[in-house]
Amino acid sequence: MFIKKIIPKQMESHYRATLIVLVSITTVGLIAISFGNPKFIDRAVVLELSFVALSALVWKGYSKDLYACITLAALVIVGHSPALPNANLMMTFSKPLNAILLVMGGYVLQGALISASLRSILGIISRRLTASA
């Protein structure tokens, strides 16, 4: 209920979905930072701050940042995939909470961000096409 109150009513549904996914990624990331490897905390904080910045830009209604959302989500997915500790953690579930946070934040929500951003971009393009016709 709270997220519905803070999202403006005039915001399109695809933008709204993108914003919800970005806020979810930020929330999962903030939880995951405390359970992650302390060696990578600086990179994790920078990554979280970039998701917060993208959330603010989507909130403001900018459309160019949707391309950055897609790029950043793809980089996160590609960055997590070849890491041996991540693959081992996901296969063995030796630390169940870490594995769930990794799968949710590193793959599921990133895929949802790519999908929501693409839908938003396609919505913008179709709106521009129908307005010019």
Q: What is the pLDDT of residues 24-55, one digit of tens each?
A: 999 999 998 888 778 888 988 999 999 999 99
pLDDT of residue 2: 47
**What is the spatial distance between Cα 69 and Cα 66, in angstroms, rounded to a whole number?**
5
pLDDT of 105 above 50: yes
pLDDT of residue 129: 84
The structural domains of the chain, with segments of one domain joined by +, span 13-132
Q: 95 Cβ partners below 8 Å, 6+ apart?
A: 35, 89
Q: What's the mean per-residue pLDDT of the chain?
A: 85
